[in-house]
Structure 1
Amino acid sequence: MSALFPYALTTGSVTVRVSVSFQGETSDPSANRWFWIYHIRIENDGDRDIQLISRRWEITDGRGAINVVEGLGVVGEQPVIAPGAAFDYVSGCPLGTPSGRMVGSYGMVDDSGRQFRIGIPDIPLLGPAVSR
């Protein structure tokens, strides 16, 4: 795993790499609001175009409460990723606790119309006061 993307998961010929950083300047612990930015790279090592159609996240806060987030695409896009190419995006995650986790999957379709899911690695969300 690279230093830029410390979390990675490969499903078939697609690898999802993730980096995450706590955002102290946009967090407000006195209001029980902690915020992280995550950068995702989806790499297509297969021999067909693939398109990201949907996402499903399970976000667990430090108390164990799970919030499921589902929807079409990511950051308003449903990108097509050619063989040997990658798609990057950045998004954010607020929590009501100083720690938590995110894990999920993407719904994909290849250029033959075959639908499949790829996993997103388990991502720890650790604020500055949480021991690593």
Structure 2
Amino acid sequence: MKALFPYEAETRGIIVRVSVSYQAEQSEPAHDRWFWAYHIRIENQSRRGVQLLTRHWIITDGRGQVQQVRGGGVVGDQPLIGPGDSFDYVSGCPLDTASGTMEGSYGMVDELGASFDVAIPRFLLHVPVTAR
């Protein structure tokens, strides 16, 4: 699993796995625009069902400029994830530098009504040498 999803973090039995890929066809380096797609898998290895309600991203570009993004759910959904189940989605991130990082957290609530944050591991956004 590590090869497919090289980044992972676990909080209270919820595992967040991330893979990222540079999207050359959506990037325009001559106009300072680079784009990455990231695939997130959220696995519930706890004994209770959970619902993802919010997201908080911290996006840092190659110059150290930080942008924070907060919102409800992910890709228009607030998924319910039962014990032993997982939820996958794909999204993207543009930057005006050829490298950066993303990290953050999901706001969750379990089936008993307890709210908690789940860590999203820090992952790298970089242009592969072969694409430069």
TM-score category (smaller protein):
over 0.9
Matching residue of 1:99: 99
- How do residues 51-130 of structure 1 correspond to structure 2 at under 5 angstroms? 51-129=51-129
Structure 2 unaligned residues grouped into runs of 5+: none
Normalised TM-score (structure 2): 0.96
The 8 Å contact of residues 52 and 73 in structure 1, kept in 2 or not, is answered as: yes
- Deviation string 1:18-73 (CA, Å, 9 cap, x unpaired) is 00000011100011000000000000001111000000000000000001000000
Q: Residue 2 of structure 1 aligns to a residue in which SS?
A: coil
Aligned to 1:42: 42
Distance 2:118 2:36 in 1: 23
- When the two chains are superposed, the root-mean-square deviation of aligned CA atoms in Å is 1.1
After TM superposition, the runs of 4+ consecutive aligned structure 1 residues lying more than 2 A away are: none
- TM-score, normalising length from structure 1? 0.96
Aligned letter for 1:84? G
Unpaired runs of at least 5, structure 1: none
Post-superposition offset of 1:2: 1.7
Q: Distance in 2 between matches of 1:94 and 1:17?
A: 20
The answer to whether residue 69 in structure 2 is matched with residue 31 in structure 1 is no
